[in-house]
Amino acid sequence: MAPGEPSPGLPPPGQGPAVQVWLTTPTGSRLLSREPDVRFDSGPPPATALRVVVDEGTAYQEMVGFGAAITDASAWLLENRMTAPQRDALLQELFGRYPGIGLSFTRLTMGASDFSLHQYSYDDMSPGQTDSALTHFSIDSNRTYVLPVVQRALAINPQLRIMASPWSPPGWMKTTGSLIKGTLLPEAYAPLAEYFRRYIDAYAAAGVPIYAITVQNEPHYEPADYPGMRLEPAARARFVGGYLGPRFARAGIQTLILDWDHNWDEYQSPLQVLADSVAPRYIAGVAWHCYGGDVSAQSVVHDAHPEKDVYFTECSGGEWAPSFADDLKWFVGTLMIGSTRGWAKGVILWNLALDEHHGPHTGGCGDCRGVVTIDSSTGSVSRNVEYYALGHASRFVRPGARRIASSAGVGGLENVAFRNGDDGSKVVLAVNTAAAPLMVAVVWAGMSFRYTLPAGAVVTFVWS
């Protein structure tokens, strides 16, 4: 422990079920560390403790999981800057069950993003040419490093769910004639729907089922130096209701269609799409990013449309926020806890892996941070704050778990609770955002245990 850091308080042992304690401290002296078990006791918790009452009788969304995007950059580093033993060890650690962190949800880019080595789509044509029949469609650009990494992750964790998002359709489908900026041409709605179908079929043929797609990454943003496209609510509703949804239905495609895939601050945009007379019958849910607004927007939209699922699909750390302690509190409190309390069935961070230069990338973010950093000369791995934030959830909350009721945050203590479907084990994830240690009392089934959580620390409790 670091000098002056309070040691986690352990009360006298109780007589009830044992509780695993996994701790990360803001100094990094403990990193997803297994601490001594505590036990439930039948006595009442101390009046001074902050109570977290866990109620299994009230269950909410079923979880798909937690993870990060296998971007082109992440896959290229794994395939080209690591030896086979290094790569296998890292993928096993990321996607494997304990001692791995069990990532079970990932995102792919349909064509290039800013974290690609070059800009491309799956049907690029020379300027002025079009290919409305998609004669030249091919995912060959993904076969050298993206598909092998995804296939290996699936082999390690067959429960891995994979979603995909385009940054831009082929340039000939757009008003700019380019992957950069612009919007979808009216005559390109049907070809773009077929483009999605072909992508899903091609990936399925490669042994990679696509669980969900979003229509467009960040449809209210047109980046100047990497692929993007503006797609307003009316256009998204028209595309999904008139083209993509019917095309999937005719082809028997079960892949979920999600709207939005952009920030919390413009929640009116998905609400407009969900107000359409046709599109909502094909839309399974709404996807969210973290770069503007507040996580409470997820609940606003969910409360208006409780029949639609919620997913959190992108957030990146970076050098703009270099404090491990601050980032730990934010990522756990806002995303792992706040987003799942806001109905998210899954939480995906941005790049799974980047190198020591925050790349490789083509345009866009020059100081983003991966969940892990791979040294491009040695292949050695550094685990970043995002790794521990994810691991505190992904290692313990398995696919099929349900969020269950727990007391809302009070006094600087934020928390969320889950029950796993396979063995009935309970998981409580908590973060102390206060400046002083907090005594926490978890109350369940007429029993309680208590634990003193250091200031700024994150803890996961697990019991059966």
Point out the residues that are catalytic.
218, 314
Strand pairing class (309-314; 317-318): unpaired
Distance CA 137, CA 148 (A): 20
Distance CA 258, CA 67 (A): 18
Q: Of 95, 172, 89, which Cα lies nearest the Cα of 132?
A: 172
**Secondary structure string (H, E, C) spanning 32-66:** CEEEEEEECECCCCCCCCEEEEEEEEEEEEECCEE
Distance CA 158, CA 32 (A): 24
Distance CA 378, CA 369 (A): 18
Distance CA 295, CA 288 (A): 9
Distance CA 81, CA 379 (A): 6
Q: DSSP string covering 258-285, please? A: EEEEEEGGGTHHHHHHHTSSSGGGG--E
- Residue with tokens 């696919």, as numbered in its chain: 399
DSSP label at residue 306:
T
Strands (E) in 85-210, as ranges, are 105-110, 161-166
Distance CA 405, CA 306 (A): 17
